[in-house]
Amino acid sequence: MRRRNLRNSQISHLYTLLLLMFFMRPVAFAQKLQRIEQLSVMDASGKKVGPLIGVNTLNRSGAGIVALKVDGTNLAVAVYKDGFTAIGMNPASVVWESTDCSGKPYLWGTSINSSLFPQIAVGLPGNTIYLAENPTSQLLSIRSISSAPVDELSPGGRSQCAVFQIQLRAIPAKALVNLDDEFQPPFTVR
């Protein structure tokens, strides 16, 4: 009989515990996790820059990576609060044989890679995307370089033209679009 009472007491305690757990759920369980179908990067006017497809963590920047299509070419570009840059630990730079960042542009610091997206760089004027024209590099006398739009040399997300002289191998490039003509910083994720 004593065993039966002990067992009934244990069952009673179990039911009480279950009821308490049901009615007294912690506040954390009151929060509902919401699924986000698609995050996008938006400009200051609310215009969609593109879908957020990743985060650039290679250089600890935390920049959002968006997918763009320009003249039928799929591109991936890093977006910071104030501007754009190419993706990667050491993204390509745009260089020129002139002393004022004008004339035929070239990509330096890269080669055509096997990435899913083509090799690009972002530089002057504004936040212009440059695309490698072919994989053949040329030995050139470079006299100017466009700094990355978002680095310690370019406050406010604007590229700067730096003059220097060096012989190096670079890949011919073409300008696709100046993103400053399309979007207005600051950029946010929504």
Q: How far apart are CA 163 and CA 190, in angstroms?
A: 39
Q: Can you list the positions of beta strands (E) in the chain?
A: 40-42, 48-56, 63-70, 73-79, 84-85, 93-96, 106-108, 120-123, 128-132, 138-146, 161-178, 188-189
Query: What is the rounded average pLDDT of the residues 114-119?
Result: 77
Q: Look at the chain and count its residues.
A: 190
Amino acid sitting at position 150: V
Query: What is the rounded average pLDDT of the residues 144-167?
Result: 73
Rg (Cα) of the chain, in Å, rounded? 27
Question: Model's pTM, two decimal places?
Answer: 0.76
Query: What is the rounded average pLDDT of the residues 151-173?
Result: 77
Band the pLDDT of 20: cuts 50, 70, 90.
Answer: low
H-state helical runs in 105-161: none
Q: How far apart are CA 168 and CA 97, in angstroms?
A: 11
Query: What is the rounded average pLDDT of the residues 49-69?
Result: 84
Report pLDDT for 153. Answer: 45
Lowest mean pLDDT among 107-111, 124-128, 139-143, 150-154: 150-154
CA distances from 31 to 24, 27, 28, 47, 91 (A): 14, 7, 6, 31, 41
